[in-house]
């Protein structure tokens, strides 16, 4: 089983690369951001809980996020592996993921961070905002807050997996294909 954490700041290309990787490696793609947006568009209780946090670019509380992730993983007992995109974003989320995978007698194969500069991220997200329709992509203060939250709350997850030698970084700039090849090179070594 391959269980990949695709890591990196908002706008670093995780979703785009995950779409290509799931095809090549026959994995299930789980994006917690997409799951929250789906819940919000259906106005479910979960969506309502997440809404205010997402609007500000803050993290949805761990208790809510971890429960949703667990449900999604358990909905795919047949999976050959997963790409976790946008999860884990805190140390408690990483610990919960490790425990969940251990229950399934598997483990995180590795974490790969896409490295992109802050200014490039802001430009990319603003561009994406023109078509994504996401309110959190259309306000520079919120975009910058998401980057700050990433640095303060999420980047420790990189160090958490680095302790077991599982964290990797690739250059997240260049052509789609060039970045894809960098990722595949690491995944092929899992
Ligand atoms: P994303 O699409 O990954 O950029 O996520 C959009 C927003 O959803 C984030 O700014 C958070 O408000 C929320 N979110 C997504 N994934 C998580 C997570 N793992 N933990 C907490 N909040 C999350």
Evaluate: CB of 32 within 6 angstroms of ligand 1: yes
C-alpha torsion 99→185→18→84, nearest 10? 10
**Radius of gyration of the chain, Cα coordinates, nearest whole angstrom:** 16
| Smallest CA separation from ligand 1 atom 2, residue | 33
**What are the domain boundaries of the chain?**
2-184
pLDDT reported for residue 182: 98
Nearest atom, ligand 1, residue 10 CA = 4
Homologous superfamily in CATH for domain 2-184: P-loop containing nucleotide triphosphate hydrolases (3.40.50.300)
Closest CA to 29 of 91, 112, 92, 87: 87
Decide: 93 and 161 in contact? Cβ < 8 Å: no
Digit-coded pLDDT (tens) for 118-153 = 999 999 999 999 999 999 999 999 999 999 999 999
Q: Which residues pair with 111 in a beta bridge?
A: 5, 167
Closest CA to 55 of 139, 152, 155: 139
Sign of the Cα pseudo-torsion (139, 124, 89, 64, in order): positive
In a 10 Å sphere around its CB, with 0-12 CB exposed, 13-18 middle and 19+ buried, how is residue 100 labelled?
A: middle
Nearest atom, ligand 1, residue 14 CA = 3
Report if pTM > 0.75: yes
Q: How far is the CA of 54 from the centre of ligand 1 (A)?
A: 7
Evaluate: CB of 89 within 6 angstroms of ligand 1: yes
Average pLDDT, the chain: 97
- Tally of CA atoms within 13 A in the half-sphere of 53 that contains its CB: 17
| Smallest CA separation from ligand 1 atom 12, residue | 54
Decide: 140 and 10 in contact? Cβ < 8 Å: no
Q: Which residues pair with 59 in a beta bridge?
A: none
Q: How far is the CA of 62 from the centre of ligand 1 (A)?
A: 11
| Smallest CA separation from ligand 1 atom 8, residue | 33
Evaluate: CB of 29 within 6 angstroms of ligand 1: no
Q: How confident is the model at residue 38 (pLDDT cuts 50, 70, 90)?
A: very high
Digit-coded pLDDT (tens) for 148-181 = 999 999 999 999 999 999 999 999 999 999 999 9
């Amino acid at each position: 089983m391959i269980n990949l954490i695709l890591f990196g700041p908002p706008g670093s290309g995780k979703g785009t690369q995950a779409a290509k990787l799931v095809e090549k490696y026959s994995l299930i793609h789980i994006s917690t951001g997409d799951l929250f947006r789906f819940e919000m568009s259906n106005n479910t209780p979960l969506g309502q809980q997440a809404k205010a946090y997402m609007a500000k670019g803050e993290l949805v509380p761990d208790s809510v996020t971890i429960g949703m992730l667990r449900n999604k993983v358990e909905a795919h007992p047949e999976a050959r592996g997963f790409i976790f995109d946008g999860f884990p974003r805190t140390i408690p989320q990483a610990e919960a993921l490790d425990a969940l995978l251990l229950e399934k007698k598997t483990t995180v194969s590795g974490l790969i961070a896409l490295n992109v500069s802050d200014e490039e991220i802001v430009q990319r997200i603003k561009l994406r905002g023109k078509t994504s329709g996401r309110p959190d992509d259309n306000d520079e203060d919120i975009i910058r807050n998401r980057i700050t939250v990433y640095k303060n709350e999420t980047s420790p997850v990189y160090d958490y997996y680095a302790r077991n030698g599982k964290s990797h970084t690739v250059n997240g700039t260049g052509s789609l294909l060039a970045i894809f090849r960098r990722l595949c090179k690491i995944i092929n070594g899992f």
